[in-house]
Structures are given as C-alpha cells and as structure tokens.
C-alpha cells in the first residue's frame, strides 16, 4: 500500500505508542484521584502539558487538552460568543475566511442563525486571505464598537489550508487583530508540527491542534488560550482542565500526543525539506505526464512568472537529499536562494493538490485504490458529500474543476519508485475515465 492521505490522518509513531503503553494497562488511575496511583496519571498529564508548552514557547497553564481539533475550534468560537453574552454586550462579530474547515464554518453558521454577525473574507486564486477586505471589516466593526460601547470580535483563520496547503500570513492577520482589538484564533491542525508557529510574533490568542495529524493517537487535541484571555467553561461537570473543560482526561492519548509533538518539532526542518523535494518533484512529473493538469493553490514551480521547473537545483532531487542542499549547490546568488526558500514556505511541505482534466476526482480515487494507493479528493471531514469542494470554488475554480480535485499528502518516507508508480497510476486512471 502507498499511503498518500496524511492530511486526513497519520500512522501512530513508535515513540507515541511506546509512551502510551504504560498508561493503557499499568498506570490506569483517574488523574483526579488524590491517592498515589491516580497521581501517577496526573503527573503524566502535566509533564505532557509542559512538553507541548515548551515546544510552542508558552506557559503550561495556557495549554488545555481536548478531544481533537474540531472540539478545539468549537470551544474557541463558542466561548468568545458566550463570553460576550455573559457580559451582556450589545454585539459580537465573528470574522473568518471562505476556505475554513467545516469545524469553523459550520460553527460560525450556527451562531449566525442565532443572530450573531458573521463576516466571511474572500481569498485570492492561491488561497491567501484578502487582507484589505479584512482590515475594512475590522474598521467597520471598530466604529460600531465606539457607538455601542461594548462588543466582542473574533477572527478565526486557519494557519494552513487542509486541501490546497496554502499557508496564511498569520503575522499580518495577528497585527490587524491587535490593532483593532479583536481576538485572534487560528485552526493550526494542519500546520502544527509542520511549520514554525510563534504565538508572540503572530499575536495568536487561541490556537487549535490535533494529535493524529502528527503521528499521535486519535481522539486528543489542544486549545492554546493566551494568558489573560477570560473565557467561560466549555464543558460543565468536573474541575478538569482548570474548570474550563470537564471530563476525565484521556491520559494515554495525552501522553502519546506529547511524544508525537516532541518528535515532530525536533525533526520539522529536516523532514520538511525532504517533503518539499518530494512535493515539487510530484508536481513536475504530473505536469509532464498528464496534459491539462492544473495545480491548486500556490504553484511552487513558478516564481513571479519564472518557470522554476527547468532550474538545475530543482532537478537535482535525490532520495534523502534536502531541497536546501540542492539550492545551496545550484543557486547563483544568495538572493535567488532566499527567494525560492521563501516561496516554499507559502505551501505545506507535503501538500500536492491538482485538478484533473475532464474527470471526477472521486472516480480517480476508486481506480487508485485498486492499485493500492490511498489518496483523497479533499477534506476527510467532507467525505461522502455530493457538493463540490468549497475551497476550490472559493479560489475561483469552476464547478467542473472543483469536482476534479485530487489531494496527495506526502510523508518523507515516500520513495522515488513509489512516486513514479503513483504518477503512472493517475495517468492511467485519467485516460481510462476519458475513454
């Protein structure tokens, strides 16, 4: 089997499995119990919290464990709305983008049905948020706040898109949020452990992450809540997670999450470079073999109109060789190297998303499955939907193109032989479906 759907979920790593094992059988005490057996579990939870906090350079008291990314997104948005209601404020506004995960879009839609004002900021053809429109909406909200004296405003924009891999300008979004007094939440489920995230530089107030996207166990995630941000309880019952999220902690899951995060962050740069090399080679080979293929989102093969696919450093791929080594060797100037490296950071390292000519992505997936290849046509959470991808429609694709999407999310372990086999399988599937 060739597994190319790592954006949907990842295999449990050996380090995560080994870390979890003692808490699946031996140390099974309730972490809220006061006796030593229970306190062993409590110690494991708090050590895991400390580990993850250190990776993000935040305080352990700013990390709250959840049941996953969807819960974290719901908590972030719901709590801001509820806090506004508890303070009896006159208005609350939610600002998001048109390409968010359903966990954000549907939560916003729910509150909109209850009378909450929701603004959905458009994106360009590469998936980048329109910052000018965002600032205009914030200016209007700020003016309203002055007349109504009290209001709440939340910006919720994902760090990196789960379908097309576009990495948003979190630093600029955070700056605007700070300038206009808005709370800034980012869904970092796809970005956590893949790219650097700086809470202070990006001025992030709330951040969602999920364990199973980074080779940790399913059913556990986190919400970072900046110190000083007052939010009401999300789940009521016990006093777990400092009274904000009731329910017995998933000790094995939390421990596994911590181990997976530690490994992901320690290898982020090295693995990222390998995945970038594989990603870009994948794009190059697909464009060579399948006429009419279109890259969705940021095209890493082009730099300001210049076709980089013919550059020597781009063709210097070798299994296990970092893309930066190739750039260092072949780039003529430091500026050329820096420009190209900066371009790479606009798209998740392992994300390959294309629109196929004249075929439906779902049909291609079935044929790939017959050849032992696992891929997807978009978000796993939208699997089974008859509607075209809202992300592809938002970046300007036609309905026909939106139905033709194919997403390959890679790991650094993919071999060149597996890559070539997959390219040939996609080519054969397209040709067969067009007959």
Catalytic positions, please?
Answer: 381
User: Residue 264: which H helix or E strand, with range?
Assistant: helix 251-266
> How many residues are listed for the chain in this entry?
435
| Partners of 123 in beta bridges | 129
At 326 the three-state DSSP class reads: helix
CA dist., res. 101 & res. 168, Å (int) = 14
Give yes or no for a contact between 77 and 111, defined as CB atoms under 8 angstroms apart.
Answer: yes
What's the CA gap between 430 and 290, in Å, rounded? 8
Secondary structure (DSSP) of 140-167? HHHHHHHHHS-EEEEEE--SB-TTT-BB
Q: What gap in Å lies between CA 253 and CA 226, rounded to an integer?
A: 23
Contact 155, 96 (CB under 8 A): yes
Assigned token pair, 205: 């107030």
Q: What is the DSSP string of 37-98?
A: HHHHHHHHHHHHHHHHHHHHTS-GGGEEEES-HHHHHHHHHHHHHHHHHHTT-SEEEEEEET
Helix 102-113, helix 69-86: angle, nearest 10: 30
């Amino acid at each position: 089997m060739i597994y190319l759907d790592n954006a949907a979920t990842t295999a449990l790593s050996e380090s995560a499995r080994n870390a979890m094992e003692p808490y699946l059988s031996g140390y099974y005490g309730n972490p809220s119990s006061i006796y030593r057996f229970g306190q062993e579990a409590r110690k494991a939870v708090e050590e895991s919290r400390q580990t993850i906090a250190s990776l993000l350079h935040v305080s352990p008291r700013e990390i709250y464990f959840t049941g996953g990314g969807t819960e974290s997104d719901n908590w972030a948005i719901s709590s801001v709305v509820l806090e506004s209601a508890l303070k009896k404020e006159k208005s609350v506004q939610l600002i998001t983008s048109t390409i968010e995960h359903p966990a954000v879009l549907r939560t916003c839609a729910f509150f909109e049905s209850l009378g909450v004002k929701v603004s959905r900021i458009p994106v360009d053809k590469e998936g980048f948020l329109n910052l000018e429109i965002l600032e205009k909406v914030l200016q209007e909200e700020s003016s309203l706040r002055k007349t109504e004296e009290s209001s709440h405003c939340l910006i919720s924009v994902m760090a990196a898109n789960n379908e097309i891999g576009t990495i948003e300008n979190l630093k600029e979004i955070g700056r605007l949020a700070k300038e206009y007094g808005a709370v800034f939440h980012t869904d970092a489920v796809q970005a956590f452990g893949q790219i650097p995230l700086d809470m202070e530089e990006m001025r992030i107030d709330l951040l969602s992450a999920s364990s199973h996207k980074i080779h940790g166990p399913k059913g556990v995630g986190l919400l970072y809540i900046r110190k000083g941000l007052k939010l009401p309880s999300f789940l009521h019952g016990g006093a777990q997670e400092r009274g904000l999220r009731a329910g017995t902690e998933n000790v094995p899951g939390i421990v596994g999450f911590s181990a997976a995060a530690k490994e992901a962050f320690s290898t982020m740069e090295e693995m990222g470079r390998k995945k970038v090399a594989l990603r870009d080679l994948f794009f190059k080979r697909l464009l060579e073999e399948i006429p009419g293929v279109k890259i969705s989102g940021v095209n890493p093969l082009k730099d300001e109109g210049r076709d980089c696919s013919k550059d020597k450093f781009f063709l210097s791929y070798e299994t296990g060789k970092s893309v930066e080594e190739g750039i260092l060797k072949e780039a003529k100037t430091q500026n050329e190297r820096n420009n190209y490296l900066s371009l790479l950071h606009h798209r998740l390292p392992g994300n390959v998303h294309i629109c196929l000519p004249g075929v439906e992505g779902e049909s291609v997936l079935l044929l790939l499955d017959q050849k032992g290849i696992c891929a997807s046509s978009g978000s796993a959470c939208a699997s089974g939907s008859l509607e075209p991808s809202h992300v592809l429609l938002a970046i300007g694709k036609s309905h026909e193109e939106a139905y033709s999407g194919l997403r390959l999310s890679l790991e650094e372990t993919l071999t060149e032989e597996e890559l070539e086999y997959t390219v040939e399988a996609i080519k054969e599937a397209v040709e067969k479906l067009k007959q």
